[in-house]
Amino acid sequence: MADLFDLTGKIALVTGATGGLGAALVDALSQAGAHVVISDLDPERCASAAEALRQRGGSATALAADMALADSRAALVTALDRAGLRPDVLVCNAGLQGPAGPIAAVTDAEVDAVFEVNLRAAMDLTARLIPTMAERGGGSVVLMASIAGLRGNKAIGLYGLSKAALAQLARNLAVEWGPSNVRVNAVAPGLIHTPFAETLMENAAFMERRLGLTPLRRVGEPDEIAGVVVMLASRAGGFITGQTLVVDGGTTLSDGSL
């Protein structure tokens, strides 16, 4: 059974790789045997994360990049090529929440910023890297969406729009590249115990309501998302493509009567 999840000999590129969820993704992919390319904004944090992974017996390369900048994304792909690193697995995890409040209140600049990081960066990297996956016989792409993109949200509606678009991107690319054995899926986490969610988790009233609507009655852990990503990246997920896997403890299933 273990060989279903084995990524030995594979190269996995993870963006947003030094945050709470990113670190869990990197660790899980490494434990599955992949050489992990750690990419995030801060070069020092990327280098430190790669060194820490190597000290734990893993294999890693640090390549910093800013997903908000097209030139930086292009430079990342060039650096991969120069290093002889051709990803078999791409995990687009970098994300930007953007402003809270009604959609009518957001500015054009805020829309551009959120969609550049959350959607355009994924479109750009997949356009650059999927063809090389196809040339080598296949690969797996995982786009980090959110349950905010699956239901209405009055607090972070712009974020939800961008994440809904990611789920559609996964469906479109799955159809385009399936004949070349490239699988593309999205993962839609619920509330996960990461620094990204700290403000929400410090709000006692919010947490009481949220956990009351969650059948499992708890917040998710980063490694529970990472495990799903490893499954999608490996042979265990070999017949899954174009899907958005919801990992939320059942929150989106609730009718409010729990």
**What DSSP line would sit under 126-173, residue for residue?**
HHHHHHHHHHTT-EEEEEE--GGGTS--SSBHHHHHHHHHHHHHHHHH
Tokens of 38: 């750690």
Q: Where are the beta strands (DSSP E) in the chain?
A: 11-15, 35-39, 59-62, 89-92, 139-144, 182-189, 244-247
Residue 183 forms beta bridges with which residues? 140
Phi, psi of 245 (to 5 degrees): -90, 120
Spatial distance between the Cα atoms of 3 and 193, rounded to a whole number of angstroms: 29
Is 159 an active-site residue?
yes
Catalytic position from the list 11, 36, 125, 159: 159
Structure token pair of residue 31: 């434990």
Q: Could you give the residue numbers annotated as active site?
A: 159
